[in-house]
Amino acid sequence: MGSPLSPALANIYMEAFEKKALESTTLKPKCWYRYVDDTFTIWTMEIEKNSALPFLDVLVERKPDGTLGHRVYRKPTHTDRYLNAESHHHSAQKQGIINTLIHRARIISESRHLAEELEHLRTAVILKSGVFKKRNINTVFSTVKKVAAAFPKTCNNDQIQGPGVYSIPCSCGKVYIGQTGKHTNMRLKEHKSHFKNNNCTLYD
């Protein structure tokens, strides 16, 4: 340790060592500063409390026998506020929220925690919706029209009784697109007549 080269050699070794260590670790420090053998490090991680560690909306618990258990996890800031049961929403939307919460409880909570989770949901969710009924107001719910409703349904040639745009496929692979002010059905018959008479000119 008395050699003048010792600090330089130690520093070279530590640089190589820490570079390999920091590149291979799964948890990266926010900062890492070193002077010889002293380091200043900021490293963020979540440590288990009471043998439990949250992951997304699952609380993973370490059991005394070494196995892992699981249950629904809620952040400390969670308020159990969902869609107000007395709001003017369709009952199917309100029921959908309840179904989602129950489904989550069943797939996340192991059997020993399921009853507790369902009881929590029962007390957190109010199933009443009677503000408008109390005031004798009748409400009617209707679905939003889909884009397809703005377009007419397709029909065959016998059902075409007005002017419009039409297409005629050809055996060569091309398609003729036409527009007529006549009845489209009549215009198609004219095209057939011209082809039958070997007059292949398409016109409107």
pLDDT in tens, 101-128: 999 999 999 989 999 999 888 888 754 4
Give the position of tokens 């057939």. Answer: 192
Q: pTM score > 0.85 for this model?
A: no
Residue 59 in any domain: the answer is yes
Domain range for 94 is: 52-130
Q: Identify the pLDDT of residue 188.
A: 81
Of the chain, the percentage scoring pLDDT greater than 90 comes to 13
pLDDT at 130 over 60: no
Residue 151 in any domain: the answer is no
Q: Identify the pLDDT of residue 142.
A: 66
Residue 183 makes CB contacts below 8 A (sequence gap 6+) with: 160, 161, 162, 163
Q: Are 26 and 70 part of one and the same domain?
A: no
Q: Are 183 and 118 part of one and the same domain?
A: no
Q: Are 72 and 20 part of one and the same domain?
A: no
* Tens digits of residue pLDDT in 12-31: 888 899 999 888 988 888 88
Encoding tokens for residue 156?
A: 């065959």
Average pLDDT for 89-108: 87
Q: Are 20 and 57 part of one and the same domain?
A: no
Asked if 169 and 195 count as a contact pair (C-beta separation under 8 A), the reply is no
pLDDT at 156 over 60: no
Burial 5-44 (b: 16+ CB within 10 A, else e): eeeeeeeeeeeeeeeeeeeeeeeeeeeeeeeeeeeeeeee
Asked if 24 and 6 count as a contact pair (C-beta separation under 8 A), the reply is no
Q: How many domains does the chain have?
A: 3
Residue 150 in any domain: the answer is no
Residue 144 in any domain: the answer is no
Average pLDDT for 85-90: 76
Q: Identify the pLDDT of residue 11.
A: 85
Residue 30 in any domain: the answer is yes
